[in-house]
Amino acid sequence: MDLGVDFGTTRSLSAVADRGNYPVVGLTDDLGDAHDWFPSVVALASGRLVHGFAALVAAEHGAPSVRSFKRAMASPEFGPDTLMRLGPAEFPVVMVIESHLRALRDALATAGADPARATNTVIAVPAHAHGAQRFWTLECFRRAGFDVTAMMNEPSAAGFEYTHRQPRTISSRRTRLIVYDLGGGTFDASLVSVDGTSHEVLDSLGLNSLGGDDFDGVLAELALTNAGLTAADLGDTDRDQLLIACREAKERLSPQTRRIALDVGTHEVSVRVDDFYAAATPLVEATLEAMSPLLGGLDSATDLSEVAGLYLVGGASGLPLVPRLLRERFGRRVHRSPYPAASTAIGLAIAADRQSGFSINEQLSRGFGVFREGEGGRTLHFDPILERTEHVPQTGERVVVRRYRAAHNLGLFRFVEYAQLDPAGNPRGDVVPFGQILFPFDTDLQGRENDPALHIERRDAGPEIEERYVIDPNGIVTVQITDLDTGYRLEESLS
């Protein structure tokens, strides 16, 4: 069995390879009802964490619960020590995610898709995910008992699903695909070149903090306004119930819907769909602005003759407003997946199936560089090391090496990931700290890099230094700095 698993912000879906077909795994809730998804919900019941359908039941009985906890991973400050509050207690986010994925593994096993029997298991991350997201997503899956053989970017997997389902739209003249992936917590867009079953990502852009949850919040604010209340007027339980109701109402919307009925605490309100769409339009416009550089700025006059389709996937793309606005701008090439929430999981199962013949050449999607000390520590200079369009190795490692003679007694390396560079060559926009290394170039200081009394001084004729940057097939970067004269080495990774 080959398995694809899409750990989503609001729901997780899985698909398996079955002789050229890729069905979504059906799961059963506590009442025996069938679903093709596992809720991304955690609750604290009787002093222990429960997940998915069990968490929904516990929350209905008053247990403290948290939805969309995956969004914590998108924060620039996210790391192994990041905590989340659940009722009276705090838990490390990575522990909650590991526990959640273990519950998902058990649910899949009960459904007959036991991850322990999978020959290949492929998982996904947002294309715009930073290094800590990538590392801890992979690590939590492995700790939860999944034998992960590969990790893909979510829109790249959705591109597989498109090509598998609509291969005739790809031709010698139309070789490009734009994947518009609006999920529960993130937005990603990728420009993909397709040649048969071979895919190459030409560029990826996205927003790590915009997704379906934000549309729910817009609808909730309108409901509160119509009720003459603010969020502060509701208790925690009523606020949670309002957001749940908004999500469910949003997912039921059709082009014919005119009003949305909601309960706000003890108040019954009605929100005009036109008002909701007007308030939510800036969110969709933000996604269009984020993706516009993929083709140098897309507009209605752009010649899209090389584009086979602009493919809408992700659960939030089901909101009728989204395809309507995109069609107004890009015309008839806009296609919405018939399985918007499951498209990524299906694509992951295709990737796991070695018989499918599908392949992908991914990119980092984020640049990587370092702020270095200059002039005896009085200035900082930014040095871009890896462009965001740097290709990720399909097997083995990609290594970038720099060598030079040190000009200081100490080197302070502040590594960051970034979305863009400004005209002066400095990172801007979504900048995420990767890590920091204080490396002693002076041999007398090696081993003392944690001494707070050390300060940077200009020195001549320092040792030969090697910086080695290693990219693995999952797009995770490791940094090694070595004094080639003495062999002294320090390393920074995300573990």
Q: What letter does residue 305 receive in the DSSP assignment? A: T
Determine which helix (DSSP H) or strand (DSSP E) holds 167, and give its type and residue range: none
Q: Does domain 367-492 have CATH number 1.20.272?
A: no
Determine which helix (DSSP H) or strand (DSSP E) holds 258, and give its type and residue range: none
Largest CA distance in the chain: 77
Beta-bridge mates of residue 381: 372
The structural domains of the chain, with segments of one domain joined by +, span 2-210+282-361, 212-281, 367-492
What was the pLDDT predicted at 494?
57
CA 439 to chain centre: 32
Residue type, position 441, single letter:
F
What was the pLDDT predicted at 435?
87
CA atoms within 13 A on the CB side of 202: 16
Q: What letter does residue 228 receive in the DSSP assignment? A: T
CA atoms within 13 A on the CB side of 413: 26
Tens digit of pLDDT for each residue in 296-329?
A: 644 444 457 788 889 999 999 999 999 999 999 8
Point out the residues of the chain with pLDDT beneath 50: 297-302, 495
Determine which helix (DSSP H) or strand (DSSP E) holds 249, and give its type and residue range: helix 236-252
* Rounded CA separation 464/159 (Å): 45
* Rounded CA separation 79/89 (Å): 19
What was the pLDDT predicted at 209?
87
Beta-bridge mates of residue 194: 199
Residue 138: burial class (beta carbons within 10 Å; 0-12, 13-18, 19+): buried
* Rounded CA separation 140/126 (Å): 16
Residue type, position 277, single letter:
Y
Which of the four CATH numbers 3.90.640, 3.40.109, 3.10.50, 1.10.3470 does domain 212-281 have? 3.90.640
What was the pLDDT predicted at 216?
96
pTM: 0.91
Tell me if 434 sits within 8 A of 492, measured CB to CB.
yes
* Rounded CA separation 67/81 (Å): 20
Determine which helix (DSSP H) or strand (DSSP E) holds 394, and give its type and residue range: none
DSSP 68-137: -GGGGGGSTT--TT-EEEETTEEEEHHHHHHHHHHHHHHHHHHTT--GGG-SEEEEEE-TT--HHHHHHH
CA atoms within 13 A on the CB side of 112: 6
Residue 230: burial class (beta carbons within 10 Å; 0-12, 13-18, 19+): exposed
Tell me if 56 sits within 8 A of 392, measured CB to CB.
no
* Rounded CA separation 61/355 (Å): 47
What was the pLDDT predicted at 304?
73
Tell me if 219 sits within 8 A of 271, measured CB to CB.
yes
Which of the four CATH numbers 3.30.420.40, 3.20.130.10, 3.40.50.720, 2.60.120.380 does domain 2-210+282-361 have? 3.30.420.40
What was the pLDDT predicted at 492?
85
Within 235-366, strands assigned E span 259-264, 267-272, 307-313, 334-336, 359-361
Which residues have C-beta within 8 Å of that of residue 354, sequence separation ≥ 6? Answer: 2, 120
Determine which helix (DSSP H) or strand (DSSP E) holds 474, and give its type and residue range: none
- Start-to-end CA distance of the chain, whole Å, equals 30
* Rounded CA separation 370/386 (Å): 10
Residue type, position 82, single letter:
T
Angle (deg, nearest 10), helices 321-330 and 273-291: 50
Tell me if 445 sits within 8 A of 454, measured CB to CB.
yes
For residues 426-453, b (16+ Cβ closer than 10 Å) or e, as one string?
bbeebbbebbebbbbbbeebbeebeeee
